[in-house]
Amino acid sequence: MTSSHNSPCNRAHSPAQNRGRKQAKPAEVCPHAARCGGCAYQGIAYKEQLDKKQEYEQKLLSSYGSVSRIIGMDKPYHYRNKVHAAFGRDRYNNIICGSYEESSHRIVDNTACLIEDTRAKAIIEVIRRLAGDFGLKIYDERNGTGLLRHVLIRTGHKSGQILVILVMASTFFPSKKNFIRELIRECPEITSVVININNRRTSMILGDRQYTEYGSGYIEDTLCGITYRISPKSFYQVNAVQTELLYTKAIELARLTGSETVIDAYSGIGTIGMTVAGHVRKVISVETNTDAVKDARRNAKANNISNIDIYADDAGRFMRRMADNNETCDVIFMDPPRAGSDKVFLNSILKLMPSKVIYISCCPETLARDLAVLARRAYRVAAIQPVDMFPWTSGIETIVCLERR
Ligand code: SAH
């Protein structure tokens, strides 16, 4: 989430640089900031954070076109709907839980956070206490012993649903039923509990096996009027409030007429495609994660969206096959992970030659790299719209509208 970049912004929070700086009003500083490192903009007023992101985008992207003013968040706190806590013990044998210190596996025992959902944070504290009461063995990364490794919580912004995922090192979980019963008794807002088994010595949080202990095993949430099912492993934007603004702006920039065939590439659980579906003739969504694809298909059915086809495939290879079969499309919405797109994908755009490409990116650097290819070959950049999806961190989301020359 915290796509880091080497902009001056990343260093801007250092006290030395801030000395003498005039600030609009004092900004909050999280007590864990020094060790956590998750929020690069600690102590910087929100308006100033936006100015810095704007400056960075301008520096990186203005050679392609003018950069519109970044869309900020009205209440830039506790927006993160996916909250992770690694569990361990300190040298006094106390249970600690929180995020990892930057570039390390040392746990920052943080009880408060400016950006994480407060209900999720409170549930993690209850789990910490219950783990002690029940004598649940905490995983020790150094020698691979113990059971409880991580807690991952997903919360639905509109639905209020809360999914708790307990990541265990083995299927052995003494007093499991009692533990979960007590957890739900103390936190009745929890709607589902999933046990995930991760027995590998890996930095990945989730393992391959999981089963539902309580509730449905997923959460639902509503974005732009459409309700989605979100499984534990499916990607879902961490800031639902800003995601609605992001999608609305992206669709506005595409200036759709209603007759288009649209590709929604890197589609996750289908949120962009289904939001666009009401504005076009047909949507083709493509996504590699099979859990997300299953969610997307269910979501389309549950919302009675019939003009969308959802494929489990590599987006680039899928589009290359479309081009080879002389199929066409009018607009491509693409929303790749931080690594951006690959050559196969970019070349397939240049074969399909849609009249517009709406590139949504969470990493300005890979966006700039990919724009260089598209702008050099066939497209002009018609609009660049940054959106602040990640207040307090250096992350920036950007929508770019490309039009065929
Ligand atoms: N558009 C969605 C998801 C964006 S995140 C949303 O707004 O919620 C990027 C997604 O791309 C993830 O779901 C990831 O699984 C998927 N992905 C990564 N590489 C891919 C590839 N080569 N082809 C298709 N999908 C890919």
Distance 263 CA to ligand 1 centre (A): 13
The stretch 41-63 carries a mean pLDDT of 96
Domain count, the chain: 2
The stretch 7-31 carries a mean pLDDT of 46
The reply to whether 334 falls in a domain is yes
Distance 25 CA to ligand 1 centre (A): 38
How is 138-207 classified by DSSP, letter by letter?
BPBTTTTB-SEEEEEEEE-TTT--EEEEEEESSS--TTHHHHHHHHHHH-TT--EEEEEE--SSSS-S--
The reply to whether 45 falls in a domain is no
How is 300-362 classified by DSSP, letter by letter?
HHHTT--SEEEEES-HHHHHHHHHHTT---SEEEE---TT---HHHHHHHHHH--SEEEEEES
Pull the structure tokens for residue 201.
Answer: 């010595």
Q: Which of 9, 39, 362, 401 is catalytic?
A: 362
266 marked among binding-site residues: yes
Parent domain of 372: 61-73+238-404
Distance 382 CA to ligand 1 centre (A): 24
Name residues whose C-beta falls within 8 Å of residue 9's C-beta, 6 or more positions apart in sequence. 40, 41, 52, 53, 55, 56, 394
Pocket of ligand 1 (CB under 6 A): 235-237, 266-268, 271-272, 286-289, 292, 314-315, 335-337
**Substitution site in 235, 242, 308, 345 for ligand 1 pocket (most atoms within 8 Å of beta carbon):** 235
Q: What is the pLDDT of residue 103?
A: 83
| Residues 66 and 95 occupy one common structural domain | no
Distance 132 CA to ligand 1 centre (A): 38
The reply to whether 170 falls in a domain is yes
The stretch 43-57 carries a mean pLDDT of 97
17 marked among binding-site residues: no
Confidence of residue 357 (pLDDT cuts 50, 70, 90): very high
Q: What is the pLDDT of residue 26?
A: 56
- Alpha carbon 61 to its chain's center: 23
The reply to whether 42 falls in a domain is no
Confidence of residue 19 (pLDDT cuts 50, 70, 90): very low
Say if strands 261-265 and 282-287 run parallel, antiparallel, or are unpaired. Answer: parallel
Identity of residue 322: M
pLDDT at residue 160 tops 70:
yes
- CATH code (residue 363): 3.40.50.150
| Residues 305 and 378 occupy one common structural domain | yes
Distance 8 CA to ligand 1 centre (A): 29
Check if 30 is active-site. Answer: no
**Substitution site in 288, 317, 344, 349 for ligand 1 pocket (most atoms within 8 Å of beta carbon):** 288
- CATH code (residue 89): 2.40.50.1070
Residue 67 has what DSSP assignment?
B
The reply to whether 47 falls in a domain is no
Distance CA 69, CA 133 (A): 51
What is the sign of the dihedral through the CA atoms of 46, 50, 51 and 56? positive
The reply to whether 374 falls in a domain is yes
> For 253-296, where are the E strands, in sequence order?
261-265, 282-287
The reply to whether 46 falls in a domain is no
pLDDT at residue 151 tops 90:
yes
Pull the structure tokens for residue 269.
Answer: 């659980």
The reply to whether 65 falls in a domain is yes
Atom of ligand 1 at shortest distance to CA of 235? 13
Coil, strand or helix: which one is 380?
strand
| Residues 140 and 278 occupy one common structural domain | no
Q: Name which residue sits closest to atom 12 of ligand 1, judged by CA.
A: 268
* Structure-token match 């989430």, residue found: 1
Q: Name which residue sits closest to atom 5 of ligand 1, judged by CA.
A: 337
String of b and e for 376-391 (b: at least 16 CB within 10 Å)?
eeebebebbbbbbbbb
pLDDT at residue 294 tops 90:
yes
C-alpha distances out from residue 97 to 77, 174, 175, 197, 284, Å:
21, 20, 21, 18, 42
335 marked among binding-site residues: yes
Atom of ligand 1 at shortest distance to CA of 315? 23
**Residues across the chain:** 405
% the chain with pLDDT above 90: 87
The stretch 355-376 carries a mean pLDDT of 97
237 marked among binding-site residues: yes
Q: Name which residue sits closest to atom 13 of ligand 1, judged by CA.
A: 268
Domain boundary residue, one of 222, 249, 268: 222
The stretch 117-143 carries a mean pLDDT of 97
Domain boundary residue, one of 222, 254, 277: 222
| Residues 253 and 217 occupy one common structural domain | no
* Residue 306: closest CA among 316, 297, 314, 315: 297
Distance 340 CA to ligand 1 centre (A): 10
Distance CA 152, CA 171 (A): 17
pLDDT tens track for 312-334: 999 999 999 999 999 999 999 99
Domain boundary residue, one of 189, 222, 255: 222
Q: Name which residue sits closest to atom 16 of ligand 1, judged by CA.
A: 266
Atom of ligand 1 at shortest distance to CA of 237? 8
